Amino acid sequence: MSATPHSIEIAQLAAVAADSKQAENLVALDVSGPLPLTDVFLLASGRNERNVTAIAEEILDRLAESGTKVIRREGLAEGRWVLLDFGDLVVHVFHEEDRTYYSLERLWKDCPVVPLTGVQNHSEDVVT
């Protein structure tokens, strides 16, 4: 199984939104094979709590403008690891230290990378 065009489209929109707030190391992973409830994980890092919160809020705003509603959000007040669940897309915005500690790229290293266009701070290499 692979991610739907719709999930890839909203992941791309979220990545552009994150990039506009200086998110770093953007990675999109097609997790549709091992996870039946979602298609794509978008991972992004912020330099500090304020930056993490700004990135997450921008993603929420841009996806809401496109008609995509968030189902669940966690961690916005703390600004360390924000999880935004849009159904087909789950966005993880991390403080740099927390991203290194939890290392989701390693956990999902067997999942294909979804190419991102129009973003400057993306990575197509998953850490192994």
Q: Tell me yes or no: is domain 5-107 CATH 3.30.460.10.
A: yes
How much is the pLDDT for 39? 97
How much is the pLDDT for 111? 96
- The per-residue pLDDT string of the chain (128 residues; one tens digit each, 9 = 90 and over) reads 699 999 999 999 999 999 999 999 999 999 999 998 999 999 999 999 999 999 999 999 999 999 999 999 999 999 999 999 999 999 999 999 999 999 999 999 999 999 999 888 655 544 43
pTM score, whole prediction = 0.92
Return d(Cα 110, Cα 76) in angstroms, integer: 29
How much is the pLDDT for 1? 66
Burial of 72-103, coded b for 16+ CB within 10 Å and e otherwise, reads eeebeeebbbbebebbbbbbbbbbeebbeeee
Describe the crossing of helices 49-65 and 5-20 by its angle, rounded to 10 degrees. 130
How much is the pLDDT for 127? 45
Query: Which H or E run includes 5?
Result: helix 5-20
How much is the pLDDT for 128? 39
